């Protein structure tokens, strides 16, 4: 991430400037919540992808930083709402917005960020960018509904899982890279390549996120492990382990999953089951394959863009190796 530190600082300063302008007309409590959520950590992964994708495509306009913050706004809006749905008390090592300010305030602040993100994209990116962005937003909601439905199905396939995470995670990351390409005036082939880079990167990113929910260090992730299991979410490590288990083992785990109280007390049992049936190692392999598929798409860009290619390669490796 050192290669992009200047870009991260520029993204942060752009958000601060935007918030200062908004503060002149917004309620003080809303501004306080926005500051709390926006500047409480985070790697600016999605806006960074927008900036670098634009630059790789030949773009040189400084307006890309103003455009890129829309992706951080929408991402934070989804986190505000997700923490309500998941009853999460912490986020990035401190109380979640809903814990710190209440559910109503978290919903409203998330709604504001969603609205602001669309305004930024429409104003700076134009109709085509807004269409891509809105498609990703719709997919996020659909992905959450797929995940809710999947929570009632303990015999999921990989296809079920990937459909959910495509909407929930992959298409927003794909939109960040595609809109960056569009803003940088990439040709059709390059725009498609960056869209697919982002989509596969999103798959890998979410698989790693699901692995961290079992194997992450709370001091690094800023949230407790086992949340997905407590919520009854069937993520890839567990799906792959169930595929390998015999009928007796599957029945035991499904019995645990079916009862919320039992789930909350069975983290170590389920963890050991996944480990024993190679769910973690196989999920890691799937994530690695997704990142490899993402990187293949960068081959369409000329060697003269080597610096930005290396940055996108580095961001992909960061997504794969991150600890939080």
For residue 276, name the pLDDT band (cuts at 50, 70, 90).
very high
Contact 84, 100 (CB under 8 A): no
pLDDT in tens, 146-200: 888 877 778 889 999 999 999 999 999 999 999 999 999 999 999 999 999 999 9
* Cα atoms in the Cβ-side hemisphere of radius 13 Å centred on 222: 12
Quick one: which of 232, 226, 59 has its CA closest to 129?
59
Residue by residue, DSSP assigns 157-206 as -HHHHHHHHIIIIIHHHHHHHHHHHHHTT--HHHHHHHHHHHHHHHHHHH
For residue 239, name the pLDDT band (cuts at 50, 70, 90).
very high
Give the whole-angstrom CA distance, residue 50 versus residue 155: 37
pLDDT in tens, 57-85: 999 999 999 999 999 999 999 999 999 98
Average pLDDT, the chain: 94
Q: Residue range 125-145: average pLDDT?
A: 95
For residue 41, name the pLDDT band (cuts at 50, 70, 90).
confident
Quick one: which of 112, 124, 117, 97 has its CA closest to 39?
97
Q: Quick one: pLDDT at residue 323? A: 84
Give the whole-angstrom CA distance, residue 129 versus residue 64: 13
Phi-psi region of 136 (alpha: psi -120 to 50; beta: other; left: phi over 0): alpha
**90 phi, psi to nearest 5 deg:** -130, 155
pLDDT in tens, 266-275: 999 999 999 9
Q: Residue range 136-150: average pLDDT?
A: 88
Q: Residue range 108-117: average pLDDT?
A: 98
pLDDT in tens, 202-235: 999 999 999 999 998 876 656 678 988 998 889 9
* Cα atoms in the Cβ-side hemisphere of radius 13 Å centred on 319: 33
Quick one: which of 12, 31, 32, 11 has its CA closest to 22?
31
Q: Residue range 301-311: average pLDDT?
A: 94
Q: Quick one: pLDDT at residue 222? A: 61
**Integer distance in angstroms from the first to the last C-alpha of the chain?**
14
Q: Quick one: pLDDT at residue 244? A: 95
CATH number of 2-321: 1.10.600.10
For residue 281, give the H/E element and its range: helix 279-296
Beta bridge partners of 95: 90
Q: Quick one: pLDDT at residue 92? A: 85
Residue owning tokens 């962005």: 133
* Whole-prediction pTM: 0.93
Q: Residue range 107-122: average pLDDT?
A: 98
Q: Residue range 129-143: average pLDDT?
A: 96
pLDDT in tens, 3-26: 789 999 999 999 999 999 999 999
């Amino acid at each position: 991430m050192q290669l992009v530190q200047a870009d991260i600082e520029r993204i942060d300063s752009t958000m601060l400037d935007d918030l200062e302008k908004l503060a002149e007309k917004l309620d003080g409590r809303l501004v306080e919540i926005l500051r709390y959520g926006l500047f409480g950590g985070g790697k600016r992964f999605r806006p960074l992808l927008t900036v670098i994708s634009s630059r790789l495509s030949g773009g040189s306009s400084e307006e890309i930083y103003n455009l890129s913050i829309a992706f951080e706004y929408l991402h934070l809006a989804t986190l505000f709402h997700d923490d309500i749905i998941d009853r999460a008390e912490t986020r990035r090592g401190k109380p979640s917005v809903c814990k710190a300010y209440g559910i109503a305030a978290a919903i409203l602040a998330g709604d504001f960020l969603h609205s602001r993100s669309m305004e930024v994209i429409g104003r700076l990116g134009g109709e085509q960018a807004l269409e891509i962005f809105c498609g990703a937003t719709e997919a996020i909601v659909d992905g959450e509904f797929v995940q809710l439905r999947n929570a009632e199905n303990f015999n999921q396939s990989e296809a079920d899982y990937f459909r959910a995470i495509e909407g929930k995670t992959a298409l927003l990351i794909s939109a960040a890279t595609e809109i960056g390409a569009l803003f940088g005036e990439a040709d059709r082939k390059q725009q498609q390549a960056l869209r697919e880079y982002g989509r596969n990167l999103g798959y890998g990113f979410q698989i790693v996120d699901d692995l961290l929910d079992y194997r992450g260090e709370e001091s690094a992730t800023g949230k407790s492990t086992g949340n997905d299991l407590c919520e009854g979410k069937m993520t890839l490590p567990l799906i792959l382990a169930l595929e390998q288990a015999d009928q007796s083992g599957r029945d035991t785990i499904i019995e645990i999953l079916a009862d919320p109280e039992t789930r909350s007390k069975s983290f170590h049992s389920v963890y050991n089951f996944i480990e024993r049936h190679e769910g973690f190692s196989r999920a890691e392999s799937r994530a690695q394959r997704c990142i490899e598929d993402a990187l293949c798409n960068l081959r369409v860009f000329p060697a003269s863009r080597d610096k930005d290619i290396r940055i996108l390669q580095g961001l992909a490796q960061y997504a794969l190796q991150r600890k939080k």
